[in-house]
Every structure is written in structure tokens, then in C-alpha cells.
Amino acid sequence: MVVPVTAAPSSTPSAAATATASPAAPTATVTPAVTPSPSTASVSCDLKAQTGQLPSDRLTGMEISRLPGSDQVRFQFSPGSLTPAGAPVGSLEVATPPFTEGASGRPIELQGDHALQLVFRHMSLQNDAGEETYEGASESRSDDPSRSLRHVVMFDESEGQIGWYIGYDGSACVTLGREGADVIVSIAFATGS
């Protein structure tokens, strides 16, 4: 469950820089979804920082869905480690430039007028057999003018932390929720925007 905490919102536009992407890194595909919006969610048009416990310490997938009136970024979790490093928690807050990769500090050109930062902590980056837990896409972009979501990019995957930037346009309301073992960021936009 997500618990809101106090923070000041920001609407700073994204920085202009160049991202370095690995050619082997997969790119997410946008898939239509027919599932309803999460029922356990907190909605905020003036986003306040939020933090909460995650379903497990193993992030296994990221999927982008288009619903009527909203775009969703769904983070999928599998059963947790036998001995997690700590209680897995996530936080969502407004991100401000400069946008950089966590370990290298290289600039990221985040698309969108507004930016969010989603960070998962106390994560297991490998399973018990030593294989990477998350093998999904590390970046997805959209140029569709009828949608708000512009860019989702992983900026950190090290030392038990996985961080994402989410860029979007327009005056959208951001909803953070959970459906089963999935954590969902929903960006609802006004009809016709």
C-alpha cells in the first residue's frame, strides 16, 4: 500500500542532454490493456512524494499500457528472495534536472514537460542462482501526441537500488497504486489532450 508524505511539487521542464543506451538493452513495447485502473490508489494532480512497501525485492518486468484517458507504467514483481537485504520499499517524487545515470553520471535526455522519479530500494538484482532478476526493457519512448507519457528510462540498477525516470506532457494527474504483485504509475490526462 502506498502512503503519501509531504513534499513540494515542481514542474521544471526536462534537461537537454544526450543519453547513452546499450545496444543490447531491450526496448519496451506499448501494449493495449483492458484491465481497469488500480482500486487501491492515491491520486494527486499536485504530486506529493510518496513511499510504501513493495510486493517483493524482485522486479521482473515493466510494461506500458494505454487505457482510455490514461497511460500506465506497470512494474511487475515476482516472489521475493529467501533472505532479502531489507524490507523492499519504493518512492515516487517529482524529479528535477539534471537527469543522469546513477553509476556513470552520464546525462539522460528525458522527454516530457514533467518528470517523475521512481526508486525501488532493498532489491535483489540477482536471483538465488546468480542470474539477473530484471531482464526487461530499460527504456521506452512515445511520440504519440494524443498521449501524455513520453519517456520511461531506468537510470540506476546497482547496490540494491533500481531507479526510473518517467517523463510526461500536459496537466495530468498521477496515480500510484498496486494490483496484486504489480506497482502501477497511471498518468491520467484530460480528454482531447
Nearest Cα residue to 164 out of 142, 137, 130: 137
Q: In the prediction, which pLDDT does 103 show?
A: 82
What is the rounded CA–CA span in Å between residue 33 and residue 54? 23
45 Cα distance to chain centroid: 17
Cα separations (Å) of 146 from 43, 71, 86, 109, 113? Answer: 22, 11, 41, 21, 15
Q: In the prediction, which pLDDT does 10 show?
A: 35
Q: What is the mean pLDDT of the chain?
A: 78
Strands 161-168 and 149-158, sheet pairing: antiparallel
Least confident of 43-52, 62-71, 79-88, 130-139: 43-52
* The pLDDT of residue 175 is above 90: no
Q: In the prediction, which pLDDT does 184 show?
A: 96
> Rounded mean pLDDT of 108-122?
97
Whether 122 and 58 have beta carbons less than 8 Å apart is answered as no
**Residue 114 bridge partners (DSSP):** 168
> Rounded mean pLDDT of 125-137?
86
Domain boundaries along the sequence of the chain: 37-188
* The pLDDT of residue 126 is above 90: no
Q: Does domain 37-188 have CATH number 3.40.50.2000?
A: no
What is the rounded CA–CA span in Å between residue 193 and residue 89? 33
Buried (b) or exposed (e) across 99-137, using 16+ Cβ within 10 A?
bbbbeeeebbebbbbbbbbbbbbbbbbeeeeeeebbebb
Cα separations (Å) of 65 from 72, 82, 143? Answer: 5, 31, 15
* The pLDDT of residue 71 is above 60: yes
